[in-house]
């Protein structure tokens, strides 16, 4: 009887310990998940502020969003998200979460901000797998090359100029790395083309 009682006490103790441990893990996961989401949101807001002038919008870009249908110009077989900038209730610009396919080590995730006149206000590569010291110069932390797209449009330069210099265009490539900058230039150009083709719809959101 004493042995049976001891087993029951031990079993109960283990059960309580298991419940407490599971609860602690769940709480820790929730807190960690919340922190991660907040960090991602903070990073996103920071990136938006870098590529879109604050005087162009007065709304919450993280909440004013839409999903565009798949389109080859945007580099994805799935719909992509856009963030809609508004000033006094009117659309003043669009931030595209676009993709630059065919970088040297795969696709590059990008943000491209275009104002209502079809002019790039800024762009950033936010995720890539490029080789350190070569293709990773698309990252602002590594070089200022990505800033060269600001104030550019389909008219400045012309379509022919929307290429790296090695291909007869206006944009620099990197020493020993042409494929990745070529992919980024093409992605920004294609995003501008998409905006131009769908301007009326985009500005009516």
Counting Cα atoms < 13 Å in the Cβ hemisphere of 197 gives: 10
Where is pLDDT greater, at 198 or 28?
A: 198
Q: How far apart are CA 58 and CA 61, in angstroms?
A: 9
Q: Where are the alpha helices (DSSP H) in the chain?
A: 2-51, 179-197, 199-202
Residue 81 to residues 1, 22, 68, 174, Cα–Cα distance (Å): 67, 36, 6, 30
pTM of the predicted model as reported, rounded to 2 decimal places? 0.79
Q: How much is the mean pLDDT over the chain?
A: 85
Per-residue pLDDT, 176: 72
SS3 81: strand
Query: Is the pLDDT reported for residue 31 higher than 60?
Result: no
Query: Is the pLDDT reported for residue 182 higher than 60?
Result: yes
SS3 10: helix
Q: How far apart are CA 195 and CA 183, in angstroms?
A: 18
Per-residue pLDDT, 46: 83
CB distance 188 to 112 below 8 Å: yes
Query: Is the pLDDT reported for residue 35 higher than 90?
Result: no
Per-residue pLDDT, 151: 98
Where is pLDDT greater, at 134 or 58?
A: 58
Per-residue pLDDT, 139: 85
What confidence tier does 23 reach under pLDDT thresholds 50, 70, 90?
low
164 φ, ψ (degrees, to nearest 5): -75, 160
Per-residue pLDDT, 29: 55
């Amino acid at each position: 009887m004493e042995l049976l009682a001891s087993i029951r006490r031990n079993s109960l103790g283990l059960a309580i310990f298991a419940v407490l441990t599971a609860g602690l893990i769940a709480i820790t996961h929730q807190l960690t998940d919340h922190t991660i989401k907040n960090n991602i949101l903070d990073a996103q807001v920071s990136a938006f502020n870098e590529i879109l002038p604050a005087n162009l919008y007065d709304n919450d870009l993280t909440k004013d969003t839409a999903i565009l249908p798949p389109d080859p110009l945007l580099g994805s077989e799935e719909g992509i998200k856009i963030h809609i900038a508004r000033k006094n209730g009117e659309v003043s610009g669009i931030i595209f979460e676009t993709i630059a396919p065919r970088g040297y080590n795969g696709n590059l995730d990008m943000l491209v901000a275009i104002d209502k006149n079809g002019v790039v206000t800024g762009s950033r590569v936010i995720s890539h797998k490029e080789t350190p010291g070569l293709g990773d110069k698309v990252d602002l932390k590594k070089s200022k090359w990505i800033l060269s797209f600001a104030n550019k449009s389909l008219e400045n330069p012309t379509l022919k100029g929307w290429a790296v210099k090695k291909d007869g265009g206006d944009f620099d490539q990197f020493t020993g790395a042409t494929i990745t900058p070529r992919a980024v230039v093409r992605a920004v150009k294609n995003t501008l083309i998409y905006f131009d083709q769908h301007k009326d719809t985009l500005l009516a959101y």
